[in-house]
Amino acid sequence: MAAEALQQAAQQLGYGIAVETQGSAGARTPLSADAIAEADVVLLAADIEVATDRFAGKRIYRCGTGIALKQAQATLRKALAEGAVEQAGGSASQAPAKAERKGVYKHLLTGVSFMLPMVVAGGLLIALSFVFGIHAFEEPGTLAAALKKVGDAAFTLMVPLLAGYIAYSIADRPGIAPGMIGGLLASTLGAGFIGGILAGFIAGYLAWGINRALRLPSSLEALKPILIIPLLASLFTGMVMIYVVGSPVASMLASLTQFLDSMGTANAVLLGLLLGGMTCVDLGGPINKAAYAFSVGLLANQAGGPMAATMAAGMVPPIGLGLATFLARRKFAQSEREAGKAALVLGMCFISEGAIPFAAKDPLRVIPASIAGGALTGALSMLFGCKLAAPHGGLFVLLIPNAINHALLYLLAILAGSLVTAVVYATIKRGQDAVAAQPAAA
């Protein structure tokens, strides 16, 4: 969506633009060497780290995808006016500059983006093992046991990957080894997801600090990223995880899991209300990711209630806004009605970002309507005692037997929240005639 916004803005401004998108499946429409050479500026609209080796010597301007989507023309103008040449490359010598440009959230998001495929694959494999019965995996040698074993292996790698790529985002390649070692220690010590996040930041900033502080003769400089930094950062990260972080975080996580298992109905509903609302605040942004990360961490500890509430609430904004385009058809332009159809499909797949086109145009009405529906869905999911075994998949997870308990009640929670969002937004949205008249009145 950000790519399309930039292309449309460039056309309106009369600029030539070549766009490459990168996602979990890799690069699409990759930029050619000639296109890079001819460019006046390189605009990196990304929420995770992007390698810049091929842009050496070019002016570069960085921003988030949200800004590029909402303020496309202004972003292009700023890129041309403020783009500056950076030292490109992936060596550790660039780590200080990189760390200064990036915030904590961006480091965390980089780790989560690399970890997410592992979480989804592992969760769905474990859910598939339940097809043969909820306890079928306990019998050795069965297909259910094999599926569960593969899923557990993916979950074992989840935290090391998260920690390793958080550290990579901070300190580049020298941070990967200490980050993954720290993440594996977090898993084995019982510190789980939270311990992995801490391990990633500890390892990353240690590697970054060592690289910045250690000065060697030029003949030995090449040893820093492959020997000295990984060795020292791994040593210190490991000691901190074993003697300082591991046990307290493990105790905290165990207490939290025990609390979730034993909490009463009122507390469960409040937690669902909170998670549901957080999931719908920024539609894939940091608050949404925080709720999702919290739920995934608990899912790894066999607590599936928060995961069910979070995924159900995440489906509500795009489904609800898609329904609103049918309930109040005259209030929506043709392009919005087409976006509503796409949003319905994306919502059923648990892709909250399907609501972004609506939120970008009308945030003061879309976001409250989304929060209202998502909070209701999260609360109902926890009230009904729904528990989910997979971290993704949307409504299609319901096709896997035993992946979700109380499937009909779960669907009811999603439908109720989606209708609330649809009715609220259809009611408060201004009609097309009123929107068109506003500039003339002003």
Distance separating alpha carbons of residues 105 and 205, to the nearest angstrom: 14
CB burial readout 65-90, b (16+ within 10 A) else e: bbebbbbbeebbebbeeebeebebee
Distance separating alpha carbons of residues 240 and 424, to the nearest angstrom: 50
Q: Which amino acid is at 208?
A: W
Q: What are the tens digits of pLDDT across the range 74-92?
A: 888 888 888 888 654 443 3
Question: What is the architecture of the domain spanning 2-89?
Answer: 3-Layer(aba) Sandwich (3.40)
Count CA atoms within 13 Å of residue 232 on its CB side: 16
The average confidence (pLDDT) of the chain is 80
Is 50 exceeded by the pLDDT of residue 93?
Answer: no
Q: What are the tens digits of pLDDT across the range 251-278?
A: 877 776 666 666 566 778 888 888 888 8
Question: Is 27 strand, coil or helix?
Answer: strand
CB 240 within 8 A of CB 202: yes
Question: Is 44 strand, coil or helix?
Answer: strand
CB 300 within 8 A of CB 195: no
Map out the domains of the chain as residue ranges: 2-89, 96-253, 265-432
Of 114-123, 176-185, 317-326, 404-413, the poorest mean pLDDT is in: 114-123
In the predicted model, what is the mean pLDDT of residues 295-316?
Answer: 82
Of 87-91, 244-248, 417-421, the poorest mean pLDDT is in: 87-91
pLDDT band, very low/low/confident/very high, at 185 (cuts 50, 70, 90): very high
pLDDT at residue 116, as a whole number: 74
Helix 286-299 to helix 104-129 angle, to the nearest 10 degrees?
40
Reduced 3-state DSSP string for 62-111: EECHHHHHHCHHHHHHHHHHHCEECCCCCCHHHHHHHHHHCCHHHHHHHH
pLDDT at residue 49, as a whole number: 66
Question: Is 380 strand, coil or helix?
Answer: helix
Is 90 exceeded by the pLDDT of residue 99?
Answer: no
Of 7-21, 78-92, 103-117, 353-367, the poorest mean pLDDT is in: 78-92
pLDDT at residue 27, as a whole number: 58
Distance separating alpha carbons of residues 132 and 202, to the nearest angstrom: 42
pTM: 0.60
